[in-house]
Amino acid sequence: MKALRAAGFRNIEQDNFFVTPHLQDLFLHAGKYRPELYLDPIVRAGISTFALEENQEEVALGCKRIQQDIDSGRIEQVIQSHESGLGDYAFIVSTKQK
């Protein structure tokens, strides 16, 4: 917000967005509470972060780790460790002074 004000923006409003377990849109963080979604190659193909990643070996390694966490039951601990009261995204709207 400080940087926006310094750049001449005013009437700055922020609305925090929290990812929920029931999201229907399959964007990057849609699997926050359903990480098994990331294991589906069709789902990953529709998420640009995965589809455009040049290092597919890294994606495969990440999927392997997710599967291990799911299989071991550790996935709930991982999910809990990423909880934040600040929101997962912030939408900011402002006007620029002329």
CATH assignment of the domain containing 31: 3.40.50.150
Question: Total structural domains in the chain?
Answer: 1
- Spell out, as residue ranges, where the chain has pLDDT lower than 70: none
Does the CA dihedral 80-81-86-87 come out positive or negative?
negative
| pLDDT for 69 | 98
What is the reported pTM?
A: 0.76
Spatial distance between the Cα atoms of 49 and 55, rounded to a whole number of angstroms: 11
SS3 label, residue 28: helix
Residues spanned by the domain of 91: 2-96
Classify residue 90 by its DSSP letter: E
Spatial distance between the Cα atoms of 83 and 46, rounded to a whole number of angstroms: 25
CA-atom Rg of the chain in angstroms: 18
Of all residues in the chain, the percent with pLDDT exceeding 70 is 100
